[in-house]
Amino acid sequence: MRTAAETQVRRPSAVRALTTLLAVTAAATVVVELLNWWYAPEQEFGLAVRTGWAMLRSLGFLVLIGHVHRGRTVARPFGLILAVTTVFAVGRLVVPRQGVPPLPGLLGFALLAALCVAVVWLLYRSDAVAGHLVRHRKGLVVSGGTISWREVAPKRPPVTGWLLTSRVAAFTYSPLMLVPALVATGAILDGRLAAVPAVLFWIAAGIGVSYLVLLCTAFLMRGKRWARSLLVAITLGVLAVDLPLCWWLLGVDGLVRDGGPMLAAAALTLYGLWRAGRVEGPGVPG
């Protein structure tokens, strides 16, 4: 028989179910990617890069388990972005360049998509999960002459969940640019030396975007309205650079496979900013 104290610290069943679901999703991501690689008619360099990136998302689900275990507020937007981009990352590998997708790959993708939908549903529709994900990060706190490691409330003004979602979505811009840029290096290896400057620019732009987003979202979390306009400008600039390069260096196939996930991340960023503006109203300073 459990004591009263044990009952109080025991996590809700919905939280335990979410943790198990995330572990299953991480394993399913690896299995589906291996299936896609096994059944791929051509196991070329580009497929290897995209497969490796997609499989790294299994580590993202493990990180998300840690956030859920600690009850971190960032788990919800992080889980949403991870689920959406995982579906796109895996979906772009299921469809071959020619012919129809193999049945095992389609079944695996359908299973993974269902798992991701279930993850998002639990994160945003379960009251028990919402009540659990209320904690902030821990840090060193000096109080009364003693130093302790405990939860630190952010000094910035409270922000909506949609702003956090926009922030996390914007952080995906850099890897979503770097992956197709690495795939495009295959064109250089095939003798298209004219593509060297474009590929180098693409890689530099992908790295530069990460710093721009980091700086912009730091002010965004502090309620600065100009930071929202800057993030919109960054998003449009990313699309203006990434989509044409995908089309030129990777063709229509690359535009669909690599431009699609970028469009999804950009749309989620802009939608989050719009929803946050509606929630906060016109009287927000900044």
The pTM for the full model equals 0.76
Q: Which two tokens stand for residue 170?
A: 């914007």
Angle, CA of 166, 172 and 176, to the nearest 5°: 140
Nearest to 95 by CA among 155, 40, 159, 35: 40
Nearest to 168 by CA among 72, 31, 91: 72
Distance CA 203, CA 180 (A): 9
Distance CA 247, CA 249 (A): 6
φ, ψ at 149 (rounded to 5°): -105, 105
Q: Write down the pLDDT at residue 52.
A: 80
Q: Write down the pLDDT at residue 152.
A: 59
Query: What is the DSSP track for 113-165?
Result: HHHHHHHHHHHHH-HHHHHH--B--EEEEEETTEEEEEE---SSPP--HHHHH
Angle, CA of 69, 91 and 262, to the nearest 5°: 80
Residue-by-residue pLDDT tens, the chain, 286 positions: 444 334 345 678 889 999 999 999 999 988 888 887 777 766 677 777 877 877 788 888 999 999 898 888 888 989 998 898 888 878 777 766 666 777 877 888 899 999 999 999 999 889 889 888 887 565 545 555 565 555 555 555 556 778 888 998 999 999 999 999 988 887 776 667 777 899 999 999 999 999 999 999 999 988 888 999 999 999 999 999 999 999 998 888 888 888 888 998 999 999 999 988 776 655 444 4
Please list the residues that pair with 147 across neighbouring strands. Answer: 142
User: Biggest alpha carbon distance in the chain?
Assistant: 72
